[in-house]
């Protein structure tokens, strides 16, 4: 059997990141409440891999610590998080890390596989893992909560926002249908979600409260006190009662399609990444439900192939397909 040509094709990418801190996430525990603080205030807590892996480790630590009943996720400085790091000196997209999931390292992979493998791990995979951790989590949000910042707030069970906070997913401007953790139509009414995405405007905290996306809106001065009072109240409840309640509600959301919808949109998201890389227009004919998802994966494969071989069909025309079929049949005949 011959190895498909793309399987032996690897790419060398250099990591040029320079970190401004060794502690992108701060960790502290007091009175049963763990505080995890995104700590890149000079870059509005832009999330590089250094930060997402540190956050994953900090959450693991908080789950393992029997003293911790509730986890508060917060951001140092003026803003909660400006999103994924797409341009600070610490942008480390080409640095390999010891991974949290079973996807292979992305850094040397060609075409669409590069971002697909990466985002399965650091974005979709980690966010789902964090959403499902068995202790209650509260996002304490001030200032900007943009794109990847939304993902961190949304995976938390509760959100407390200051009245100067705003929420925004502007990535449609990049030709991409929203961030990787596509929870928009579950976090708000679908029609509001369409407006949120199509306009890409900032949703003020007051509006986020109206649409049920956040639990409390308070002044910046009160933000910490209100968040920790809520955490302290929840911390008096029994551990398993909290874990099961969280699982129950997450399960209901998943039964309402949250998980499967996210898988489908993740494929569309990656179609957009590779489409942007190729920068040409393909017609997408709409289909429904499962077919939609597979159709998106299918097109992901087309553009991935085009990136690798310059051809949407991976270098195969009808003749070459027939020839490959005949060869495969012949070699099966030999081994049979
Ligand atoms: Zn992406």
Q: How far is the CA of 115 from the centre of ligand 1 (A)?
A: 7
Which residues lie below 8 Å from residue 159, measured CB to CB, with a gap of 6+? Answer: 138, 139, 141, 153, 208, 213, 214, 215
Cα 148 from Cα 47, distance rounded (Å) = 8
Model pLDDT for residues 226-264, shown as the tens digit of each residue: 999 999 999 999 999 999 999 999 999 999 999 999 999
Which residues lie below 8 Å from residue 157, measured CB to CB, with a gap of 6+? Answer: 136, 137, 138, 246
Topology of domain 25-331, CATH = 2-enoyl-CoA Hydratase; Chain A, domain 1 (3.90.226)
Q: Where are the domains of the chain?
A: 25-331
Low-confidence ranges of the chain (pLDDT < 70): 1-6, 279-290, 314-316, 332-336
Residue 279's pLDDT is what?
Answer: 54
Q: If we measure between CA atoms, which residue out of 241, 10, 193, 218 comes closest to residue 108?
A: 10
Q: How far is the CA of 190 from the centre of ligand 1 (A)?
A: 21
Residue 44: strand, helix, or coil: coil
Q: How far is the CA of 268 from the centre of ligand 1 (A)?
A: 10
Q: How far is the CA of 331 from the centre of ligand 1 (A)?
A: 40
Q: How far is the CA of 145 from the centre of ligand 1 (A)?
A: 17
Model pLDDT for residues 74-118, shown as the tens digit of each residue: 999 999 999 999 999 999 999 999 999 999 999 999 999 999 999
Q: How far is the CA of 74 from the centre of ligand 1 (A)?
A: 23
* 312 in Cβ contact with 306 (< 8 Å): yes
Residue 107: strand, helix, or coil: coil
Q: How far is the CA of 269 from the centre of ligand 1 (A)?
A: 6
Residue ranges with CB less than 5 Å from ion ligand 1: 119, 180
Which residues lie below 8 Å from residue 308, measured CB to CB, with a gap of 6+? Answer: 5, 6, 9, 110, 111, 314
> Rounded to 10 degrees, what is the CA torsion of 91, 97, 103, 104?
100
């Amino acid at each position: 059997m011959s190895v498909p040509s793309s399987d032996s094709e690897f790419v060398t990418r250099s990591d040029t990141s320079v970190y401004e801190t060794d502690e992108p996430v701060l960790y502290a525990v007091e009175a049963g409440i763990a505080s995890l603080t995104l700590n890149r205030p000079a870059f509005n807590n832009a999330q590089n891999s250094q930060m997402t892996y540190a956050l994953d480790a900090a959450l693991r630590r908080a789950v393992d610590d029997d003293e911790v009943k509730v986890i508060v996720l917060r951001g140092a400085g003026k803003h909660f998080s400006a999103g994924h790091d797409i341009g600070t000196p610490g942008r480390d997209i080409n640095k390999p890390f010891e991974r949290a999931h079973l996807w292979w390292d992305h850094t040397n992979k060609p075409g669409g596989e590069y971002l697909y493998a990466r985002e399965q791990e650091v974005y979709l995979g980690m966010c789902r893992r964090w959403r499902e951790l068995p202790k209650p989590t509260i996002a304490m949000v001030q200032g900007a909560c943009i794109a990847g910042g939304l993902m961190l707030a949304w995976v938390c069970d509760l959100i407390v926002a200051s009245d100067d906070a705003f929420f925004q997913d502007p990535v449609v401007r990049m030709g991409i249908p929203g961030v990787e953790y596509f929870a928009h139509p579950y976090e708000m009414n679908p029609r509001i979600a369409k407006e949120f995405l199509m306009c890409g405007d900032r949703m003020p905290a007051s509006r986020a409260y109206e649409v049920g996306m956040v639990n409390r809106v308070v002044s910046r001065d009160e933000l910490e006190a209100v968040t920790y009072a809520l955490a302290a109240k929840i911390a008096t409840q029994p551990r398993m009662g909290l874990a099961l309640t969280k699982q129950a509600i997450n399960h209901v959301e998943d039964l309402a399609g949250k998980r499967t919808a996210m898988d489908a949109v993740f494929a569309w998201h990656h179609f957009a990444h590779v489409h942007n890389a190729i920068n040409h227009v393909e017609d997408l004919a709409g289909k429904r439900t499962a077919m939609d998802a597979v159709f998106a994966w299918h097109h992901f494969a087309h553009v991935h192939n085009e990136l690798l071989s310059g051809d949407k069909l991976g270098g195969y025309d009808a003749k070459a397909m027939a020839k490959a079929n005949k060869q495969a049949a012949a070699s099966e005949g030999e081994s049979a």
